[in-house]
Structure 1
Amino acid sequence: MIPACPSAEWAFWPEREDLSAEFMRLLAAAQDGGATIAECLLVARQTRRGDELSWHREWISVAETSRNRADAALAAGHMATARRNWLRAVNYYNAAVLPLDPADERRRASIAAMQECARSFLKFSDPAGEVVTLPWLNGHSLQGYFLPAPSTRGPAPTVICIGEPGHRKEEFLFKLAPHARERGLSMLAVDLLGARDDDFLEQIVRRPDINASISHVVDYLCSRADVDGDRIAVLADGWGSSFVARAVVREPRIAAAVCDGGLWDLHERAFMANRIMLRDATIVPVPEVPPIARNIDCPVLVTVGEDGWLKTDRVRKMVQQSRNHRLDVTLKVFTAEETGAAQGHADNPTLANEYIFDWLASRLAPLAAVPA
């Protein structure tokens, strides 16, 4: 059994880095209403090491408990409690599928239950959110959750929140939506999977036009009367590639972007160049300014943790050189002393998202902030 009181240097599944990282994400999500610490520790105590199905069963159990609690609260007219429990159920269902194969029927059933909870949360939010369909490819549409800004007079500034290909949008409902709402911003949470199963992911990532997906999202937002087409931003949550940065280059209607600014693209180029240079010393080194960054016209925010995968000294150097090329780029490095220093700010996403949404609010100049 997993110990109930781990030390500061613990890992709940030392032989499974992915499950340990997921558990840390769940604990961090408690700050924003995506979990409760007590429920996380309960699952940890009951999950058996070496038994992946045990992980699945325990998270499904707590997810269904939260879902039933939400449904009971709805029936009794307690809307705030219902919304909170639907959000926690969303996160627990999402955690439950991690060790399962994409073709596993239990995975599909868990994802369907997660999406039903997300829809319930949207339906009974105030103002109510929407499930929206956005045309993209022949035979495949994008799907998003649109959460309108509260108490706005006229079209509102809007943030597109998207993760890496394969990441699902449901997490943004508790992780990012409150930050947008408190600052008078509408939010569209979107992913590339649409209504398809995870086994469709490989076909998506192989497409040469994957970066064009953001333009289709902007097309949809510009068609809405409640969205200010001149104040649309995009946020790449937990970026691990230059996917969104490449999309921003193609889309002049983006007013501000939170992404890697092309740093991962340069990192990959440098890695390959170093391997080649070991065999051929005449190879010219990779430039220190990300090629993508030279072609981004809108203001960009890059946030990194000093314990993340990219070396912060090199990031600072590349950002400074990007500024020399007149790119409007802001860099925020989160240190271990303040937390938020892990890759993707996984140890304290709340702190990072407060900074990110304050920056977005200042760039988009929302009409009015809404009290928490």
Structure 2
Amino acid sequence: METGHAGHPLTRRWTEQRWLLDNVIQANGLDWDQPRSVYLSAPCGPEANADFAALRLRIRKYADAAPAFEAVARRRQARAEAAEEAGQLVTARENYFMAAIHWGGAQWPIDEASKLNLRYNASKRACYNNYARLADHRVEAAWIPLGDHNLPAWLHLPYGYNGGKVPVIISVPGMDSLKESGVSLYGDRWLNRGIAVLAIDGPGQYESPLLGIYVTTEAWAATGRACVDYLLARPEIDGTRIGISGTSFGSFFTTIAGANEPRIKAIAVNAPCLEPGCHTIFEEASPTFKMRFMFMANYTDEAAFDRFAQTLSWRGHAEKISVPYFCATGEADELSPLRYVEEMIAAIRSPRQFVVYQDSRHAIGNVPSASLGPFLPTMIADWMLARLNNTPMQSERWFIDATGRINRTSLA
């Protein structure tokens, strides 16, 4: 693997299809490849709806994304600073939080450790630090020792925490998401259940490549151990009740981390990217995915990256999982075919729950099975709490059909 900041990656498909990508964005907007505006808006609450409505109108080509998010971030940051100056601390914290998410949105299309990316990251951290200072629960910056580096993270303690030891989950974002969105501004599903959250940018994710920490399967195997070591040193954390949860490409990272750290008590993933070698997402989906991951892994040469991509596999790791495992996926996932998820679930011998939403694509939602069936974020949080509380479970496959009905079959 290349060392140092390798610069901006380029791929053949990106070069050949850039004109087509911009036409697709012109026709479909910011959410052309996945519901980006939805998952960034969700943790911010209803006030951010207008921000994202404006962004959807403003972003008509790929180059629009960073400046559009920057403009909204600047406006929210200015509003937060004015509110704090006026003593309106609740308004200030809300706007600092939204500004941090928008600064992160501005970073998303920048696939190199450029001065602009570093500036956006510094603004994001400054706003989130100010949010943490004013938050309605205890939030603090965390740095997780990992080899010669420190992984960036935020530790959130449950609402009303006043001492004692509490369970915790390690929150792992996806390829295009960030640790700051891992806990909602208000009414967070984990904190409401008395579960602390260690929200990380793991190797290659968002802030980490700016610090020289890149994706490898080995780095993610070490990340589980590093996070647990950090949490066991915290007096607030019950070291016997540590879970890990990941979304999208974070499902692969979470699986590797959990498989190599037996002190983690339960593993939950959703919208999984579990195809060994990742051909579908890198070669058949939007060319932005591959270019983004090249930055995450610190490659600029596409042929070298293609060789590296073959190392991205759960095989040899998932077989080691000995704790309860939850996975929810869409039947028609266009980024990671269902057969690879089924293969991995069959390789796991510990208690497991495998949930398939009929007709859903990678981002689970916007189909009858997801609208009428169990609400996925709530189901994951309840499942995790039950596992951390030692509630027994059966190994089952759930197929949620278009009526919302759960069709259960046993997993041997």
Gaps of 5+ in 1: 1-10, 271-288, 367-372
Structure 2 residue 355 is the aligned partner of structure 1 residue 332: yes
Q: Deviations over 1:302-327 (max 9, x none)?
A: 011223234447745763x45xx742
Q: CA 1:18–1:106 in 2, change beyond 3 Å: closer, same or farther?
A: farther
Q: CA deviation at 1:145?
A: 0.4
The one of 279, 288, 294 aligned to 2:319: 294
Q: CA deviation at 1:13?
A: 5.9
Structure-2 separation of matches of 1:265 and 1:14: 26
The one of 380, 388, 395 aligned to 1:364: 388
The one of 197, 209, 212 aligned to 1:198: 209
Q: CA 1:101–1:315 in 2, change beyond 3 Å: closer, same or farther?
A: closer
Within a 5 Å distance, the mapping from 1:56-95 to structure 2 comes to: 56-95=66-105
What's 1:186 paired with? 196
Does 28-37 or 309-318 show the bigger shift? 309-318
Structure 2 residue 246 is the aligned partner of structure 1 residue 236: yes
What's 1:156 paired with? 166
Q: CA 1:22–1:90 in 2, change beyond 3 Å: closer, same or farther?
A: farther
Q: CA 1:75–1:307 in 2, change beyond 3 Å: closer, same or farther?
A: farther
Conserved 8 A contact 2:267-2:324: yes
Q: CA 1:157–1:206 in 2, change beyond 3 Å: closer, same or farther?
A: closer
What's 1:304 paired with? 329
Q: CA deviation at 1:301?
A: 0.7
Number of corresponding residues: 328
Q: Tell me the secondary structure at the aligned position of residue 77 of structure 1.
A: coil
Structure 2 residue 355 is the aligned partner of structure 1 residue 343: no
Does 289-298 or 355-364 show the bigger shift? 289-298
Q: CA deviation at 1:259?
A: 3.0
Q: CA deviation at 1:156?
A: 0.1
Q: Deviations over 1:23-66 (max 9, x none)?
A: 8321344343267232222233344x4471x4322221111111
Structure 2 residue 155 is the aligned partner of structure 1 residue 146: yes
Structure 2 residue 47 is the aligned partner of structure 1 residue 38: no
Conserved 8 A contact 1:294-1:327: no
Structure-2 separation of matches of 1:178 and 1:189: 13
The one of 163, 171, 178 aligned to 2:181: 171
Conserved 8 A contact 1:136-1:216: yes
Structure-2 separation of matches of 1:176 and 1:253: 30
Does 84-93 or 341-350 show the bigger shift? 341-350
The one of 133, 149, 155 aligned to 2:143: 133
Q: CA 1:24–1:293 in 2, change beyond 3 Å: closer, same or farther?
A: closer
Structure-1 separation of matches of 2:217 and 2:66: 32
Structure-2 separation of matches of 1:38 and 1:23: 19
Q: CA deviation at 1:247?
A: 2.0
Structure-2 separation of matches of 1:28 and 1:263: 17
Identity %: 22
Q: Deviations over 1:86-120 (max 9, x none)?
A: 22212211222233342432222111111111111
Q: CA 1:105–1:317 in 2, change beyond 3 Å: closer, same or farther?
A: closer
Conserved 8 A contact 1:143-1:195: no
Q: Tell me the secondary structure at the aligned position of residue 152 of structure 2.
A: strand
Q: CA 1:310–1:228 in 2, change beyond 3 Å: closer, same or farther?
A: same
Gaps of 5+ in 2: 1-20, 281-313, 391-412
Q: Deviations over 1:240-298 (max 9, x none)?
A: 6633212222211111111379982658699xxxxxxxxxxxxxxxxxx9653332111
Q: CA deviation at 1:212?
A: 0.8
Structure-1 separation of matches of 2:206 and 2:250: 23
Q: Tell me the secondary structure at the aligned position of residue 259 of structure 1.
A: strand
Structure-2 separation of matches of 1:269 and 1:60: 33
Conserved 8 A contact 1:165-1:191: no
What's 2:36 paired with? 25
Q: Tell me the secondary structure at the aligned position of residue 264 of structure 1.
A: coil
Q: CA deviation at 1:299?
A: 0.6
Q: Deviations over 1:139-175 (max 9, x none)?
A: x111210011233452000011123578531221338
Q: CA 1:13–1:300 in 2, change beyond 3 Å: closer, same or farther?
A: farther
Q: CA RMSD in A?
A: 3.8
Structure-1 separation of matches of 2:146 and 2:75: 37
What's 1:106 paired with? 116
Structure-2 separation of matches of 1:44 and 1:327: 43
User: What is the identity, as a one-letter code, of the residue corresponding to 2:353?
Assistant: T
TM-score, structure 2 normalization: 0.68
Q: CA 1:235–1:307 in 2, change beyond 3 Å: closer, same or farther?
A: same
User: What is the identity, as a one-letter code, of the residue corresponding to 1:304?
Assistant: T
Within a 5 Å distance, the mapping from 1:231-310 to structure 2 comes to: 231-239=241-249, 242-259=252-269, 264=274, 291-308=316-333, 309-310=335-336
Q: CA deviation at 1:197?
A: 6.3
Structure-1 separation of matches of 2:271 and 2:207: 29
Q: Tell me the secondary structure at the aligned position of residue 189 of structure 1.
A: strand
Conserved 8 A contact 1:261-1:293: no
